[in-house]
Amino acid sequence: IRIIIGHADNPEGAEKLRQRLKEIKAEVPFISLASPVVCSHTGPGTLLAGWMPI
């Protein structure tokens, strides 16, 4: 499975999530900032994950 991680001013949390996902053999090609629309509703520290089978 390929998982993309997004975060709202939480790069440390995003990297920690990446390491946990690698433990289950998930591919995490990159980490990005969450969009302002998401952040305005969820606030700082939010982590997002989107996935698709490969």
What is the tens place of the pLDDT at every residue in 4-31? 999 999 999 999 999 999 999 999 999 9
Asked whether residue 9 is assigned to any structural domain, the reply reads: yes
- Higher-pLDDT residue of 26 and 52 is 26
Asked whether residue 46 is assigned to any structural domain, the reply reads: no
Question: What pLDDT was estimated at residue 52?
Answer: 85
Which residue in 45, 43, 48, 42 sits closest to 18, CA to CA? 48
Asked whether residue 7 is assigned to any structural domain, the reply reads: yes
Asked whether residue 18 is assigned to any structural domain, the reply reads: yes
- The domain of 19 spans 1-29
Asked whether residue 3 is assigned to any structural domain, the reply reads: yes
Question: What pLDDT was estimated at residue 3?
Answer: 97
Asked whether residue 44 is assigned to any structural domain, the reply reads: no
- pTM to 2 decimal places: 0.87
Strands 31-33 and 2-7: parallel
Asked whether residue 8 is assigned to any structural domain, the reply reads: yes
Question: What pLDDT was estimated at residue 26?
Answer: 95
Instruction: Tally the domains of the chain.
Output: 1
